[in-house]
Structure 1
Amino acid sequence: MTTPPSHMPPAPPAGGFPGTPTAPEKQKNVLGRIAVITAVVGFIFACIPGALIVGWILLPIAFILGIVGLFQAGKRKGTSTAAVIIAIVGIVVGFVVFATVVSDAVDDAFGGSGDVSVTTPGDTASAAGVAAAGTENTGSGDSASSSEQGTRGNPYPIGSTITDGDWQVTVNSVTLNADDAVTAENPFNDAPAAGSQYLLADVTVTYTGSDPQGKMPFTSIDYVTADGNTVNSFDSMVVAPDPLDTLSPLFEGASTTGNLVFTAPSASAGQGTLAIQATPLSDKVFVAVS
Structure 2
Amino acid sequence: MKPEVVVAKKRGTPYRSITTLYYILVASGVFLVGVYCLYLGGEQTQFWNAHTGWRTLLEQLGGLLIVTSGLSILWELIGKRAFAKEVLESTRMVTEIDSAGIKRITNQFYDESMWKDCFRGTEKLDIFAAYANTWRNTYMPLLQEIARKPKGRIRIYLTDPEDPTTLATLAHRFGTTPEKLKERIWDTRDAFEALRVEGGASVEVFYWRGDRVFTFYRFDNRVVLALYQHSGQRSPSLPTMVCENGGSLFQFVYDELVSIRNSSRSALPAAASPGEASTATVTQLRDPDSKRTG
| TM-score, structure 1 as length reference | 0.29
Scaled by the length of structure 2, the TM-score of the pair is: 0.29
More helix by share: 2
Q: Higher RCO, 1 or 2 (CA under 8 Å, sep at least 6)?
A: 2
